[in-house]
Amino acid sequence: MRARILALADDRWASAFVALLAGALAAGLALVAPKYALASVALAVALVGLAVALRRLEIGVIGLVLAASLDVTGRIASVGGANITLYQVGAFAVAIIAVWGIARERSPLPETPMDVPVAAFLLLSAASIAPAPAVNTALVAFVSLASSALLLYLVVLAARTPDAAERIIWATLGAAAVLGLMALLERKHIFSVQPPLNIWGYGIRSRVTFKDPNIFGAFLATALCLATPLWIRLKGVGRKTIAGAAMAAALLGLGLTFSRGALVAFLLGMLVVLVFARVPFSWKVAALLAGLIGMFVVGVKLVDPALIQSKIINITTNHSAVQRIYLARSSWEMSRDHPMGVGIGNYAQVSPLYRQAEVNLKLVESHTAYLTVLAEVGILGLIAFAWLIVRFLGPVFAAVRRAPDDVHTIALAALAAGVGLLAQALTYSLEASKFLWLTFGLGMAAVTMYRANSKGSDDGAV
């Protein structure tokens, strides 16, 4: 008891210190650089959140998810041309808190099926830095990838119980709901965080805090896929209604991104939920029919037929889709000439040498995660990335099939979001996406809980 009281006192003193530090840093940043006043407020809020995270690590992870949802608007400084983001600062701080907690409790770091392939992928990415044409760019890209991979392990450490994992997922949905409503405001020209990226014939493609509507769509699709299995099991009409309203707001935002890849990711995730959810078969049939009817009504009544004709029916001749084919061809030629890769983050540096004449000069990415990894990190990097994916899908699928209901729900959420994002990665470079690695983390957390339960059952049987 005395040791527990002392540990609690240490936490409170540490929390008070971090809160005080938050105010000092925010005030100092606002005085030194007034243009970063808004960022300083966000930094102060984040640091206060970290003070709370000293007591509950999942609060720190939730803060990281919220910081990641700021995307480019979360940049707080630039050092030597490299942008420092609120997420990166937060990830470093939460990692220190996690290590402190492990050392204090003398608890081992949980092992996951993804440990070895993640290490291999990071090592190969690091090895590609030295020969890269732009070393500084490669270093920045590696730091971004490493900070994403770090999220996997922070989630595993924080989500040791289904309740903790659920809190992370609900917070992700909350952020998605807020941004979904902001997407509507942006679409209606009422308010936008950033200047519109493009205004097409069918209006603005909402992006809110993100650099690209497709990445924004990936975030919204992830939140929806993660939340749906939890919503199915949610008790109480009031809670179900509130969560359903949040999901509707996120779905509205997803539609306003006009991202075909994100929409496919969402639909594939919903299909996974429909197949593996532990509900009566009649409910699944009803949900499928309701979904099909909803898609028909939206397609007929709300979406411009010319848009459907251009982006879906005539996709083989659509300008955007055709250019992606040319980009894929360039990526393959690049990897053929550089089998060990051109260096992480250096695709844009080398791609002009392989650009097809038909490709827009502004397109400097392969728009396919797997080809980006192949071109930048080489064939070994792609093998490591594929190995990483297999070690995610296999164990999580096993947990979906055999785990008790509470763990099954978390595993199903991760599987649905993972399948969706890995499919969207065919149309966009998501290999370093914070939300993909968040999904990996939730999947590994579910696997860890499932294996712990299985071991406990075996021990009890003996």
What the block records as the tokens of 169 is 């997922």
Q: 26 pLDDT exceeds 70?
A: no
Distance of CA 263 to the CA centre of its chain: 15
Residue 199 pairs in a beta bridge with 204
Which of the residue ranges 23-27, 221-225, 379-383 would you say has the lowest mean pLDDT? 23-27
Reported confidence tier of residue 367, pLDDT bands at 50, 70, 90: confident
Q: 344 pLDDT exceeds 50?
A: yes
What the block records as the tokens of 147 is 């900070």
What the block records as the tokens of 212 is 């690209």
Average pLDDT, the chain: 82
Q: 76 pLDDT exceeds 90?
A: no
**Burial degree of 365 (CB within 10 A; 0-12, 13-18, 19+):** middle
The predicted-structure confidence for 184-240, as pLDDT tens digits, reads as follows 999 988 988 888 776 666 678 899 999 999 999 999 999 999 999 999 999 989 999
Contact 81, 136 (CB under 8 A): yes
- Residue 425: predicted pLDDT: 94
Contact 151, 441 (CB under 8 A): yes
**For the CA atoms of 289, 291, 294, 298, what is the dihedral angle to 10 degrees?**
-140
Q: 387 pLDDT exceeds 90?
A: yes
Closest Cα partner for 220 from 421, 400, 27, 357? 421
What average pLDDT does this structure show over 268-293?
Answer: 90
What does the domain layout of the chain look like in residue ranges?
1-109, 110-461
Which of the residue ranges 264-278, 304-318, 412-426 would you say has the lowest mean pLDDT? 304-318
Neighbours of 264 (CB within 10 A): 17
CA 209/CA 260 separation, integer angstroms = 19
Written as one letter, the residue type at 238 is: G
CA 14/CA 424 separation, integer angstroms = 42
Residue 83 pairs in a beta bridge with 78
What the block records as the tokens of 303 is 């979406």
**Burial degree of 453 (CB within 10 A; 0-12, 13-18, 19+):** middle
**Burial degree of 206 (CB within 10 A; 0-12, 13-18, 19+):** buried
